[in-house]
Structure 1
Amino acid sequence: MLRVGLTGGIGAGKSTVAARLAEHGAVLIDADRIAREVVEPGTEGLAELVAEFGAEILAADGSLDRAALAARAFSDDGARQRLNAIVHPRVGARTAELMARAAADAIVVHDIPLLVEGGLAPSYHLVLIVDADEDVRVKRLVESRGMPEQDARNRIAAQASTAQRRAVADVWLDNSGTRDVVLAQVDALWADRLVPFEANLRLRKPRPPRSPVVRPYDDTWPVQAERALARVRLAAGETALRADHIGSTAVPGLAAKDVLDLQLTVSTLDDADAVAGALSAAGFVRAEGHWYDHPQAGGDGVWDKRFHFGADPGRPVNLHVRSAEGPAWRLALLFRDWLRDNPGEVAAYTEVKRRLAKAHADDGSVEGYTEEKQAWVDAGFTRAEQWARRTGWTP
């Protein structure tokens, strides 16, 4: 099952996106609908709201008067927190029940307004943010809901900021324009990313090999890596000693293949094996076979590791799971930090990578490229160790 979190600010039009995904076959779980269900007349949720906010929040027929509740609950942060404490656990329990009913090959889209505010992004395989310019959102709220303009702006201001949403967005859908534009984006997203992502996840299918393509440094790589690391940390739980962005995409200015290298450090390789299922379910598929960090290691155990591929076709990831008992976890961090502190080495490494990528452009895999650049990397380890002694560097 692929879990997709869908959110966006009020008036951004995420219901349009949700409806289109449902037309494609997604299982839609609407948090707002569930939030209404758990406070219908006769429910414990409604009784608790009345006890907290007074009978004035009830309509004449005994149902919840949402405008009256909003007037009280949105008056200050404390009141809003009390409202959330009553409603959110009930919504969570019902949501879990609906997700458990979904088929094994389902693409479940959870339409949830407070995904960002609740810090829930790492629990989804992919997060979709629907956005629109603030003036567009205000106009929609005024025209479609009859909301006074200042009330609309107050509601927008009370929600997560654009920067907070961008930090967790795997996919950003701008819905400022016409409906047809965003629907076309959703159609492409479904066909090109969501459907193959679900298949990769269910079948535990690694991405196919390809020749090395080295591209200029991308300033968004660290942010993308942090989103993936949040999922790794959640899946690994207390087994994780640390989780880091490593490799070329972690070095500003360094040209690299557009593949994020991540490192999960655990106490032992037995711990790596114990957490493999959770990592695979989180979208980082365990690779079969024997993996080790040095081509001359020969499987001596010192350089052994476990390796996972990211299942998302739109964001390639290599996850190296290493034991703190071996040397490789430290070397990965040392090599990264040494390069960050030495621009001349970054320039030299960039030249090596570009030359070798060109030489191996027709290989159909990165094996020859990786093997040939190992000599430069090994020499770099020596210089990095000297730098560490000189600077007092520690992981």
Structure 2
Amino acid sequence: MHTHPLWRPYETPSMEEINAARLEVGAPASVPVEVVAPDPDWPKWYESVSDRIRGALGERALAIEHVGSTAVLGLWAKPLIDVDLTVADSADEDAWLPDLVAAGFVLRVREPEWEEHRLVRGTDPDSNVHIFSLGAQESQRVRMFRDWLRTHPEDRDACSTTTRRHGSSTTSTRRSSRPIPSMSTIHTHARTSVGDRRSERRPICATPCLCCTF
């Protein structure tokens, strides 16, 4: 039986456990990334995805949040909805995955070393649903950054400019540990301004707002 994550400290799995559990469907490839102007229908797309998740999981979906570039009014982005889904224990896939699969989602990523992150992909509309346990720092990070960009138009515009510039070229589907300076600066400024002194749990992607969330 899984111990509820609120009753145990986060323990980093061994490399053997990580390699045995890791899942990443599809080989990394260089693909063109489409970045488009803000679409007023993106909130409706999110509501469609959220309703599907809520219908599949009911009260097991402890929180469902629209995150990533499409969650910020006025921000250029790829036309894909990013969702942050909180469940009691993301590692306990039997408790939530079968019902999401039945609702049309497909498990694409399993990362035990990153707060037991899981990612399922949906279509119609295209969506990435990031699943974390209650209290995960990454969920707090992406929501904080989303709220910051919503209320700080100068940083939102800088983020949008960076996204458009790097989204016009070919990018890899695999995350990189080399953040783009301007995006890293904005994110650090946001974190320190709200008093978040925690270190990054994950490097910012090489092409921000394109491969997953921010």
Normalised by the size of structure 2, how large is the TM-score? 0.69
For residues 88-126 of structure 1, the C-alpha deviation after alignment (integer angstroms, 9 at most, x for no partner) is xxxxxxxxxxxxxxxxxxxxxxxxxxxxxxxxxxxxxxx
**What is the CA-CA distance between 1:338 and the residue it aligns to?**
0.4
Cα distance in structure 2, aligned partners of 1:329 and 1:271: 18
Of residues 111, 129, 132 in structure 2, which corresponds to 1:322?
132
> Which runs of 5 or more structure 1 residues have no equivalent in the other structure?
1-204, 292-298, 391-395
Of residues 255, 262, 265 in structure 1, which corresponds to 2:76?
255
For residues 65-86 of structure 1, the C-alpha deviation after alignment (integer angstroms, 9 at most, x for no partner) is xxxxxxxxxxxxxxxxxxxxxx
Identity of aligned residues (%): 32
Of residues 170, 174, 183 in structure 2, which corresponds to 1:367?
174
Q: SS of 2:168's equivalent?
A: helix
Paired position in structure 2 for 1:95: none
**What is the CA-CA distance between 1:301 and the residue it aligns to?**
4.4
Task: Report the count of equivalent residues.
Answer: 170
1:384 aligned onto 2:204: no
Of residues 152, 156, 159 in structure 2, which corresponds to 1:346?
156
Cα distance in structure 2, aligned partners of 1:308 and 1:230: 15
Paired position in structure 1 for 2:117: 305
Q: Is the 2:56–2:100 Cα contact (8 Å) retained in structure 1?
A: yes
Cα distance in structure 2, aligned partners of 1:253 and 1:338: 13
Q: CA RMSD in A?
A: 2.7
**Which letter does structure 2 place at the counterpart of 1:323?**
S
Paired position in structure 1 for 2:62: 241
**What is the CA-CA distance between 1:385 and the residue it aligns to?**
2.1
**What is the CA-CA distance between 1:375 and the residue it aligns to?**
5.1
Cα distance in structure 2, aligned partners of 1:245 and 1:341: 16
**What is the CA-CA distance between 1:378 and the residue it aligns to?**
4.1
Normalised by the size of structure 1, how large is the TM-score? 0.39
> Which runs of 5 or more structure 2 residues have no equivalent in the other structure?
1-24, 197-214
Of residues 27, 33, 38 in structure 2, which corresponds to 1:212?
33
Paired position in structure 2 for 1:290: 110
Cα distance in structure 1, aligned partners of 2:43 and 2:191: 25
For residues 2-34 of structure 1, the C-alpha deviation after alignment (integer angstroms, 9 at most, x for no partner) is xxxxxxxxxxxxxxxxxxxxxxxxxxxxxxxxx
Cα distance in structure 1, aligned partners of 2:156 and 2:113: 31
Q: Is the 2:57–2:99 Cα contact (8 Å) retained in structure 1?
A: yes
Cα distance in structure 1, aligned partners of 2:135 and 2:84: 15
1:268 aligned onto 2:81: no
Identify the structure with bigger relative contact order (alpha carbons < 8 Å, sequence gap 6+): 2
Q: Is the 2:32–2:169 Cα contact (8 Å) retained in structure 1?
A: no
**Which letter does structure 2 place at the counterpart of 1:263?**
D
Report the CA distance shift for 1:315/1:371 in structure 2 as closer, same or farther (over 3 A): farther
**Which letter does structure 2 place at the counterpart of 1:335?**
F
Report the CA distance shift for 1:219/1:308 in structure 2 as closer, same or farther (over 3 A): same
Cα distance in structure 1, aligned partners of 2:38 and 2:84: 20
**Which letter does structure 1 place at the counterpart of 2:149?**
L
Cα distance in structure 2, aligned partners of 1:388 and 1:217: 26
Identify the structure with the greater helix proportion. Answer: 1
- Kindly name which structure, 1 or 2, has the bigger radius of gyration based on alpha carbons: 1
